[in-house]
Amino acid sequence: MAPLLEARNVSKVFSGGLFSRAQNIALDDFSFALEDAPPSITAVVGESGSGKTTLARLLLGLAAPTSGSVRYNGKDLRKHSRAEWRTFIREVQVIFQDPYEVYNPFYTVDHVLKEPIRKFALAGTKAQGRALMEEALTAVGLRPEETLGRHPHQLSGGQRQRIMVARALLLKPRVIIADEPVSMVDASLRATILNNLRQINRQFGISILYITHDLTTAYQLSENIIVLYRGGVAEVGSVERVVQHPQHPYTRLLVGSVPLPDPRRPWEAAPAPSALGREMTAASCRFADRCPSAMPVCIEVRPPLYQTNPDRAAACYLYDDAPAMATGDINQVFVGEAAD
């Protein structure tokens, strides 16, 4: 059976502008499949410029790939009929970083909930619409009587973001793409929103793609992780394996830079990059200019993903005694997924 949502050999290249020949490869030959069952939570982690936001936009159909395809229910989004597209935009919901942008300050927050009900004709009467809104708000732990009728500025950032989760839930989606959903929320409220996401994954069987720069919340929420670096996969696999025992030098750097709760343990200083990295070309390992372990082969040709454990692969020659994987096979190392 075809995966529910799939990126197949997707690349996205941005040109440098009208008078520039420079090109920015935001995503390079990326493949990933989100299966319908079991409902999963996968984190896509990377720093700014890693390609994670481009990936979110491609998966949502908000941008077209330069090559490759994004498929829903096995069909290229570009070939969807109007009816199939309508199904797609209902079943694949997004929660963005800044919920405030979605709200109109002149309307009460009811407006953002009523709009999908109207657009997708979810209720026959006002009372049915109200019941749906109350049900969705309750599912994310908000009290309808304390939420409906309020203006956005009368609610906290955390409450506004939970309303966006409720809004997505109204449509009974099969996938939620959460793009940095807690990065603008106070630390004290982050756990509540992450709990909401975990709960709706379990209770409603909705798969979640959690896109973030924050390794800590990725670890707290997800089962599997894809670490992106400059548009390519650096390391992928079970979140437990990758975060607890990182292999790729970039993942090690990320893990080492996470602030630790124990003040006696200093943050790990980043090791100095190898001088070889200065010879980096477009064909080299993407991390060569920052890597302390760069070798001549890293400069010559980009490494494939090596499957170093049943539940993990790393794109690094330090592990070239492990079997190489095709880029399209990253799902094989995810926990909770049926192997082919």
Name the site residues for ligand SF4 (rule: CB under 6 A). Answer: 248-249, 285, 287-288, 291, 293-295, 298, 303, 316-318
> How many C-alpha atoms does 101 have within 13 Å on its Cβ side?
6
| Residue 295 or 324 having the CB closest to ligand SF4 | 295
Cα separation, 97 vs 339, whole angstroms: 33
| Residue 200 or 316 having the CB closest to ligand SF4 | 316
- Report the nearest approach of ligand SF4 to the CB of residue 250 (Å): 7
State whether residue 217 is helix, strand or coil.
helix
Cα separation, 78 vs 259, whole angstroms: 43
- Report the nearest approach of ligand SF4 to the CB of residue 291 (Å): 3
| Residue 34 or 288 having the CB closest to ligand SF4 | 288
- Report the nearest approach of ligand SF4 to the CB of residue 156 (Å): 42
Cα separation, 264 vs 258, whole angstroms: 14
| Residue 123 or 318 having the CB closest to ligand SF4 | 318
β 67-72/75-76 pair status: antiparallel
Q: Give the pair of three-digit tokens for residue 133.
A: 């809104």
- The H or E element containing residue 30 is strand 23-34
59, 330, 284: which is closest to 174 by C-alpha?
59
Q: What share of the chain is helix, strand, coil (3-state, %, to 5)?
A: 40, 20, 40
- Report the nearest approach of ligand SF4 to the CB of residue 314 (Å): 8
| Residue 114 or 248 having the CB closest to ligand SF4 | 248
- Report the nearest approach of ligand SF4 to the CB of residue 289 (Å): 8
